[in-house]
Amino acid sequence: MASFLCARSVERPPGVPLQGTSAASSSRRPSDVRRKVVDASLVTSMFGLVASRRGKGKHRGTKVSTAAHPPRRIFASREVVMDDVQVIGYDLDYTLVHYNLKAWEGAVYAQCKEILSKKGFEVEGLEFDSGLVIRGLVIDAKLGNIVKVDRYGYVRKALHGNQMLSVEDVNEVYGRQRCRVDLRESRWTFINTLFSVANCCLFCQLVERIDQEYKADDSPLPVDYAWLARSVGAAVSEAHVDGILKERILEDPTEYVELDSEAPIVLLDQKLAGKRLVLITNNDWEYTRRMMSYAYDRYLPPGLTWRSLFDVVITNAQKPDFWTLRMPLWEVIDEERGLTHSTPRAKMKAGKVYCGGHARMVEECFGYGGQQVMYVGDHIYADTNVAKSIVQWQTCLIMRELEGEVRALAQTQQRRKELGELLVRRDKLLQQRGMRRVKAGRQRLGISTEFSFGLQPAHHPMEVVRWGDILED
pLDDT digits (tens, 9 = 90+) for 244-267: 888 889 999 999 999 999 999 999
**Rounded alpha-carbon distances, angstroms, from residue 271 to 88, 97, 285, 307:** 10, 18, 22, 12
The tally of domains found in the chain comes to 3
Nearest residue to 335 (alpha-carbon basis) of 362, 307, 301: 307
Which residues have CB under 8 Å from 303's CB, separation 6+?
none
Give the pLDDT confidence score for residue 442 in this predicted structure.
84
Which CATH number is 333's domain given?
3.40.50.1000
Average pLDDT of the residues in 29-54: 43
Give the pLDDT confidence score for residue 65 in this predicted structure.
42
Residue 269: pLDDT over 70: yes
Q: Which helix (H) or strand (E) holds 408?
A: helix 402-411
Say yes or no: 405 and 353 in one domain: no
Which residues have CB under 8 Å from 157's CB, separation 6+?
147, 148, 164, 165, 170
Residue 208: pLDDT over 50: yes
**Which string of DSSP letters, residue by residue, matches 93-160?**
BTTTBEE-HHHHHHHHHHHHHHHHHHTT---TT----TTS--TT-EEETTTTEEEEE-TTSBEEEEEE
DSSP 8-state code for residue 178: T
Say yes or no: 106 and 205 in one domain: yes
271/262 Cα distance (integer angstroms): 14
Q: Report if residue 46 sits inside a domain.
A: yes
Q: Report if residue 426 sits inside a domain.
A: no
End-to-end CA distance of the chain: 46
Residue 29: pLDDT over 70: no
Say yes or no: 148 and 20 in one domain: no
331 touches 352 (CB < 8 A): yes
DSSP 8-state code for residue 448: -
Residue 9: pLDDT over 60: no
Describe the chain by its helix, strand, coil percentages, rounded to 5. 45, 15, 40
Say yes or no: 222 and 105 in one domain: yes
Any idea which of 170-179, 221-230, 390-399, 411-420 has the lowest mean pLDDT? 170-179
pLDDT digits (tens, 9 = 90+) for 396-446: 999 888 888 888 888 898 999 999 999 999 999 999 999 999 888 888 887
pLDDT digits (tens, 9 = 90+) for 307-363: 999 999 999 999 999 999 999 999 988 888 777 787 889 999 999 999 999 999 999
Q: Report if residue 309 sits inside a domain.
A: yes
Rounded to the nearest integer, the mean pLDDT of the chain is 80
- For residue 43, the tally of other CB atoms under 10 A from its CB is 23
Instruction: Please return the burial class of 266, using the count of CB atoms within 10 Å of its CB with bins 0-12, 13-18 and 19+.
Output: buried
438/418 Cα distance (integer angstroms): 30
Q: Report if residue 460 sits inside a domain.
A: no
Give the pLDDT confidence score for residue 245 in this predicted structure.
86
Q: Report if residue 179 sits inside a domain.
A: yes
373/277 Cα distance (integer angstroms): 10
206/335 Cα distance (integer angstroms): 44
43 compared with 27, residue with greater pLDDT: 43
Q: How confident is the model at residue 97 (pLDDT cuts 50, 70, 90)?
A: very high
Q: How confident is the model at residue 465 (pLDDT cuts 50, 70, 90)?
A: low
Give the pLDDT confidence score for residue 79 in this predicted structure.
84
Percent of the chain with pLDDT over 90: 49
453 compared with 313, residue with greater pLDDT: 313
**Which string of DSSP letters, residue by residue, matches 258-298?**
E--TTHHHHHHHHHHTT-EEEEE-SS-HHHHHHHHHHHHGG
pLDDT digits (tens, 9 = 90+) for 120-137: 888 899 999 988 888 889
Q: How confident is the model at residue 450 (pLDDT cuts 50, 70, 90)?
A: low
Which residues have CB under 8 Å from 194's CB, separation 6+?
94, 99, 101, 105, 135, 378, 400
Say yes or no: 139 and 163 in one domain: yes
Any idea which of 71-85, 159-173, 184-198, 307-321 has the lowest mean pLDDT? 71-85
269 touches 113 (CB < 8 A): no
Q: Report if residue 200 sits inside a domain.
A: yes
Considering 222, 251, 280, which residue would you say is the last residue of a domain?
Answer: 251
Say yes or no: 36 and 53 in one domain: yes
**What amino acid occupies position 198?**
A
User: 285 lies in which domain range?
Assistant: 259-367
